[in-house]
Amino acid sequence: MTLSEEEVKRLYRIRRTVLQMLHDRGYKIADFELNGPLEGFKSKYGENMKREDLFLVKHKIHSESDQIYVFFPDEVKVGVKTMKTYTARMKAENEAELLVNIKEHVLVPEHQVLTSEEKKTLLERYTVKETQLPRIQLNDPIARYYGLKRGQVVKIIRPSETAGRYVTYRYVV
């Protein structure tokens, strides 16, 4: 089954957001994949593009063994049959949420996920326990975008008229 022009544009936008998200999570993504135009996308996958052609396998920059598989199923809700065809750990994302990259929205401040060492330094510097930090929910859109896990800390940098920038930290619960 070939896809309509609107569906091709939709898949292009979704795939671009997924690639940006993977890049932000530390996966190896080439610049041409991130910045490729719609015409390049169409020419690569052809006129008879199928959703299954868009399958991706990417690995972390510093770990070849840490891989992620991304696929674009035909069905709206992924069932057991589809899940059994892929053996790796997966997380289903709603395609509508991936049409626009929320990280690029003007109202979303910069977020940086802290490493374990940075988290330890932060807690020692301010002599606080991680549970004393302000919280961010695991199901928050930014937490889902970065694939945050419970116990991680994210640094949020907001512009400030008086200080230039305002930095706060959130503990993922």
Q: How confident is the model at residue 169 (pLDDT cuts 50, 70, 90)?
A: very high
Would you tell me which CATH number, out of the four given (1.10.510.10, 3.30.1330.60, 3.90.940.20, 3.40.50.300), belongs to the domain 105-172? 3.90.940.20
Q: Token pair of 40, please?
A: 């390049």
List 154's β-bridge partners, or say none.
113, 170
- Going from N- to C-terminal start, the domains of the chain cover 5-100, 105-172
Amino acid 21 reads M
Number of C-beta neighbours around residue 95 at 10 A? 16
- 52 touches 64 (CB < 8 A): no
**Highest averaged pLDDT of the listed ranges 12-16, 43-47, 73-77, 131-135:** 131-135
Dihedral over alpha carbons 5, 50, 103, 112 (to 10 degrees): -160
What is the Cα–Cα distance from 122 to 139, expressed in whole angstroms? 24
Q: How many residues does the chain have?
A: 173
CATH, range 5-100: 3.40.1340.10
Digit-coded pLDDT (tens) for 78-95: 666 655 555 444 455 577
Assessment of whether the complete model's pTM goes beyond 0.75: yes
